[in-house]
């Protein structure tokens, strides 16, 4: 093309025009050469760094999914860390030096305790229990009733300290903030939780030990402390009856056993002197047989544990809805408690008024909560009768004690 332009320029008559036209051709040739150089350079660059192939849609989706997962994991981690830091102070703290804390607490207990009632029995205990017991209780508490029933059945004498259910003045010294609490006065040992109390005393009755402390060491508590400083006790093995170590056992010689039986026989003869000799001998044999109960089998112990747990986990929860059906019934119930527990002699009138009326309202709310939580029948009497039928049908004619 440049040759054509040059040949054409020769036919132009004007020398001025010819010079300008030649300069334009030169610029055009130089620009074409520059473009060719750029093209050659780009080709060389392409040979050195070839372009990557275009990504497929599937490859792009894979990257999208991977990015989404990584983003979600990052957000979840940040949220979890913030949540843990926010509630870090609310996590429970396990208390390890419980024995030392309880010993210091019981040292602050008022001695003698403010006993409100002494419980004794005309007959001798079913088995010898040489320790003095103080029971801290609410007369209205079903768990306290359970401990009293056990002590009464075994005819073990004990003292009662009635606790104000509103102020808790009588148990301010204790780390355990519930009732019942039992104190073994001879050794200044505190027992918590109704099931643990019964199991510990029953373990001693079945196999006496040199000290009651040997029995308590078998029931280790898991103690937790929250951010507010509240301490909670849990006894995982509270339904078990243990046999103490051989070195801890109190072995009774034949002479001591015979002396005990003679004392029991003489006691019954003295109390029943008006009866015939044959009748008195029968009573003596009954007492001796109660002190020589045969050892229970593993199946019997398992059956016993099962139904003790049933009482705590099911039966006890149908009691409150049945005695606090309405606010009026709750007040009537607490007025009866006031008479049965001798509150008129124990508490001043204003404390008694608060316990009766405030306690009645609170327990009415508890009854409503238990009814919803455990899905009781609208007619709560039916739930109570169902529990009774379940117990009777299972136990039948078997002994359960």
For the chain, give percent helix, strand, coil, nearest 5: 60, 10, 35
The CATH number of whichever domain residue 397 belongs to comes to 1.20.1050.10
Do residues 234 and 330 both lie within one domain?
no
Instruction: Report residue 300: phi and psi, to 5°.
Output: -65, -40
What residue has token string 């009691």? 319
Q: Is the pLDDT of residue 195 over 80?
A: yes
Same domain, 188 and 124: yes
> Is 302 contained in some domain?
no
β-sheet bridge partners, residue 191: 182
**Strand, coil or helix: what is 117?**
strand
Residue 196: closest CA among 186, 204, 185: 204
pLDDT at 17 over 70: no
d(CA 185, CA 127): 19
- Kindly state whether residue 42 falls inside one of the protein's structural domains: yes
Whether residues 80 and 100 fall in one domain: no
For residues 102 and 244, state if they share a domain: yes
SS3 129: coil
Under DSSP, is residue 231 helix (H, G, I), strand (E, B) or coil? strand
Contacts of residue 169, defined as CB under 8 A and 6 or more positions apart, other chains included, come to: 163
According to the model, what pLDDT value does residue 59 have? 67
Tell me what pLDDT residue 86 has: 54
pLDDT digits (tens, 9 = 90+) for 319-363: 999 999 999 999 999 999 999 889 999 999 999 999 999 999 999
pLDDT at 33: 58
Buried b / exposed e along 193-207 (16+ C-beta atoms within 10 A): bbbbbbbbbbbbbeb
Residues 333 and 355 in one domain: yes
Beta strands 181-184 and 133-137, pairing class: antiparallel
**Is residue 12 a part of any domain in this protein?**
yes
Give yes or no for a contact between 236 and 222, defined as CB atoms under 8 angstroms apart: yes
Give the range among 63-67, 71-75, 189-193 with minimum mean pLDDT: 63-67
Mean pLDDT of the chain: 80
Q: SS3 for 281?
A: helix
Asked if 232 and 98 sit in the same domain, the reply is: yes
Which residues span the domain enclosing 17?
Answer: 2-48
Instruction: Quote the number of domains for the chain.
Output: 4
Contacts of 181 (CB under 8 A, 6+ apart): 135, 136, 171, 174, 190, 191, 192
pLDDT digits (tens, 9 = 90+) for 251-273: 765 545 555 555 554 444 444 44
Is 235 part of any domain?
A: yes
Residues 64, 42 share a domain: no
Residue of 209, 222, 77 whose CA lies nearest to 131:
209
The strand order across the sheet containing 189-192 reads: 117-119, 158-162, 133-137, 181-184, 189-192
The phi and psi torsions of 378 (rounded to 5 degrees) equal -55, -40
113 and 233 inside one domain: yes
Backbone φ and ψ for 159, nearest 5 degrees, come out as -105, 150
Same domain (yes/no): 173, 109: yes
Q: Tell me: do 130 and 167 sit in the same domain.
A: yes
**End residue of a domain, out of 248, 279, 302:** 248
């Amino acid at each position: 093309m440049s040759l054509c332009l040059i040949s054409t320029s020769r036919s132009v008559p004007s020398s001025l025009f010819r010079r300008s036209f030649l300069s334009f051709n030169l610029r055009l040739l130089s620009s074409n050469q520059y473009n060719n150089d750029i093209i050659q350079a780009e080709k060389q660059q392409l040979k050195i760094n070839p372009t990557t192939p275009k990504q497929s849609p599937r490859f792009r989706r894979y990257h999208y999914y991977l990015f989404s997962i990584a983003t979600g994991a990052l957000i979840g981690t940040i949220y979890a860390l913030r949540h843990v830091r926010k509630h870090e102070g609310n996590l429970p703290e396990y208390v390890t030096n419980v024995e030392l804390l309880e010993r210091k607490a019981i040292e602050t207990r008022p001695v003698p305790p403010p006993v409100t009632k002494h419980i004794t029995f005309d007959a001798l205990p079913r088995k010898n229990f040489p320790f003095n017991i103080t029971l801290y209780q609410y007369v209205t508490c079903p768990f306290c009733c359970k401990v009293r029933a056990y002590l009464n059945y075994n005819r073990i004498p004990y003292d009662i300290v009635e606790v104000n259910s509103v102020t808790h003045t009588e148990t301010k010294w204790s780390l355990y903030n519930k009732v019942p609490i039992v104190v073994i006065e001879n050794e200044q040992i505190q027992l918590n939780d109704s099931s643990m109390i019964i199991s510990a005393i029953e373990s001693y009755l079945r196999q006496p030990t040199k000290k009651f402390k040997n029995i308590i060491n078998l029931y280790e508590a898991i103690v937790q402390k929250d951010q507010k400083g509240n301490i909670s006790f849990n006894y995982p093995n509270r339904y078990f009856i243990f046999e103490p170590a051989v070195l801890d056992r109190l072995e009774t010689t034949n002479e001591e056993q015979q002396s005990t039986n003679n004392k029991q026989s003489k006691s019954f003869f003295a109390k029943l002197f008006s009866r015939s000799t044959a009748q008195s001998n029968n009573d003596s044999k009954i007492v001796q047989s109660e002190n020589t109960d045969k050892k229970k089998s593993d199946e019997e112990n398992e059956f016993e544990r099962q139904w003790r747990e049933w009482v705590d986990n099911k039966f006890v929860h149908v009691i409150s809805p049945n005695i606090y059906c309405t606010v009026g019934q709750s007040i009537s119930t607490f007025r009866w408690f006031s008479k049965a527990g001798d509150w008129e002699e124990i508490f001043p009138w204003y404390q008694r008024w608060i316990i009766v009326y405030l306690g009645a309202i609170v327990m009415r709310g508890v009854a409503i909560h238990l009814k919803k939580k455990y899905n009781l029948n609208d007619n709560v009497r039916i739930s109570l009768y169902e529990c009774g039928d379940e117990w009777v049908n299972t136990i039948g004619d078997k002994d359960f004690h």
